């Protein structure tokens, strides 16, 4: 599979805040073909540090989502450096001046792409990991008549307060770097980006993962070696891009839109899609307890808990073959 993609021009895109994002664009890639009945569409939004390329780990030949049978639309979210982001938007909306974006804005843009550019009127499945799973919930609440099924994994319909606090921690570490300069940096805030990565690694895996030294399965002799890898990984990211998506994540809440107007239970009840939510018992910020509350209010829904010391990163492609099989089997139940 290649790393090429297409860009859909949204023009001056009015965000939920009322601000217009000038010359907005979302980048996407499609796999497979739309069938004659137009009922084989699978939408894969991207996760926090994800891209359409990294989404390729969730489908393939012989997998539950298969380009031979499905029309797969993999869409990059705002702020990921490929779609419109602080790092690639010209002044006066560049860098720290990039406007706030919500999950509602992302799904509104994706809806325009599917309906006006790709000729899609019905979606068989929206699924994804982490923030992509949050977008799955958002799709089903925002366009309930268009989505047949959703399968969010390691995600939530509303960002929990403890999850918000975790994100405040990594954000504060990044912004504490004097080079950051309130987002107006001339050079990357290296110390802040490294601190961001080190703190994040403590939440991405479970306590058992570290106690059992499971980082050795990833080729690291020590926990410190793993932390240094996370530091280096985050040096590849633009700081304002990270914080743009972090803000979107923190404000995730499917009820913050008409006709729900803040009524979370009503928003969950408004979901018509057949829903299976997969949680990891050791996910430290998307907790199964929050998902259990959510599925109580979603008709035709079910929560399944996968037990693994990998924690939130159980779903990262390549970490757990057992989870991949579990996910594929669950997807088959929904769309086959």
Q: What is the pLDDT of residue 3?
A: 60
pLDDT tens digits for range 52-98: 999 999 999 999 999 999 999 999 999 999 999 999 999 999 999 99
pLDDT tens digits for range 231-277: 999 999 999 999 999 999 999 999 999 999 999 999 999 999 999 99
Residue 105, pLDDT above cutoff 50? yes
Q: What angle do CA 251, 252, 253 make, to 5 degrees?
A: 110
CATH number of 6-159+252-335: 3.40.50.1820
- Closest C-alpha to 273, from 159, 152, 154: 152
pLDDT tens digits for range 166-198: 999 999 999 999 999 999 999 999 999 999 999
Q: What is the mean pLDDT of residues 4-25?
A: 97
pLDDT tens digits for range 212-241: 999 999 999 999 999 999 999 999 999 999
Identical fold for domains 6-159+252-335 and 163-246, yes or no, is: no
- Please count the other Cβ atoms lying within 10 Å of the Cβ belonging to residue 24: 23
The CATH architecture annotation of domain 163-246 reads: Orthogonal Bundle (1.10)
Rounded to an integer, what distance in angstroms lies between the CA atom of residue 307 and that of residue 286?
14
Q: Which residues of 279-292 are buried (b: 16+ CB within 10 A; e: fewer)?
A: bbebbbbbbbebbe
Q: What is the mean pLDDT of residues 314-327?
A: 97
Alpha helix (H) ranges present in the chain? Answer: 103-112, 131-142, 161-175, 190-204, 207-211, 223-235, 239-250, 264-269, 288-295, 321-335
Q: What is the pLDDT of residue 301?
A: 98
What's the whole-model pTM score?
0.97
Rounded to an integer, what distance in angstroms lies between the CA atom of residue 27 and that of residue 50?
13
Q: Give me the residue spans of the domains in the chain.
A: 6-159+252-335, 163-246
The mean pLDDT value of the chain amounts to 97
Q: Where does the pLDDT of residue 330 fall: very low under 50, low under 70, confident under 90, or very high at 90 and above? A: very high
Percent of the chain with pLDDT over 70: 99
Residue 296, C-beta contacts closer than 8 angstroms, at least 6 positions apart: none
CB 72 within 8 A of CB 65: yes
pLDDT tens digits for range 301-311: 999 999 999 99
Rounded to an integer, what distance in angstroms lies between the CA atom of residue 78 and that of residue 107?
10
């Amino acid at each position: 599979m290649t790393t090429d993609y297409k860009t859909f021009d949204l023009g001056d895109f009015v965000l939920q805040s009322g601000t217009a994002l000038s010359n907005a664009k979302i980048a996407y890639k499609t796999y497979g073909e739309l069938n004659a009945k137009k009922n084989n569409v699978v939408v894969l939004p991207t996760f926090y540090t994800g891209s359409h390329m990294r989404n390729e780990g969730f489908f393939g030949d012989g997998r539950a989502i298969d380009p031979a049978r499905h029309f797969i639309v993999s869409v990059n979210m705002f702020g990921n450096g490929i779609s419109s982001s602080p790092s690639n938007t010209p002044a006066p909306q560049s860098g720290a001046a990039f406007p706030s974006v919500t999950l509602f804005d992302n799904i509104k843009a994706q809806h325009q792409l599917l309906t006006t550019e790709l000729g899609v009127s019905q979606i068989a499945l929206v699924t994804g990991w982490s923030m992509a799973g949050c977008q799955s919930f958002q799709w089903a609440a925002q366009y309930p008549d268009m989505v047949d099924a959703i399968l969010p994994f390691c995600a939530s319909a509303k960002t929990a307060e403890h999850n918000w606090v975790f994100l405040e921690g990594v954000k504060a570490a990044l912004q504490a770097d004097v080079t950051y300069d309130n987002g107006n940096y001339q050079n990357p805030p290296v110390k802040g980006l490294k601190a961001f990565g080190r703190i994040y690694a403590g939440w991405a895996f479970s306590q058992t993962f570290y106690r059992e030294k499971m980082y050795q399965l990833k080729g690291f002799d020590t926990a410190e070696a793993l932390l240094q890898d996370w530091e280096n990984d985050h040096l590849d990211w633009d700081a304002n891009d990270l914080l743009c998506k972090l803000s979107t994540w923190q404000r995730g809440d499917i009820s913050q839109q008409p006709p729900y107007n803040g009524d979370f239970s009503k928003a969950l009840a408004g979901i018509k899609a057949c829903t299976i939510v997969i949680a990891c018992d050791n996910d430290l910020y998307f907790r199964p307890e929050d998902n259990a509350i959510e599925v109580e209010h979603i008709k035709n829904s079910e929560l399944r808990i996968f037990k693994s010391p990998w924690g939130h990163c159980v779903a990262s492609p390549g970490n757990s073959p057992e989870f991949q099989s579990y996910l594929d089997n669950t997807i088959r139940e929904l769309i086959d």
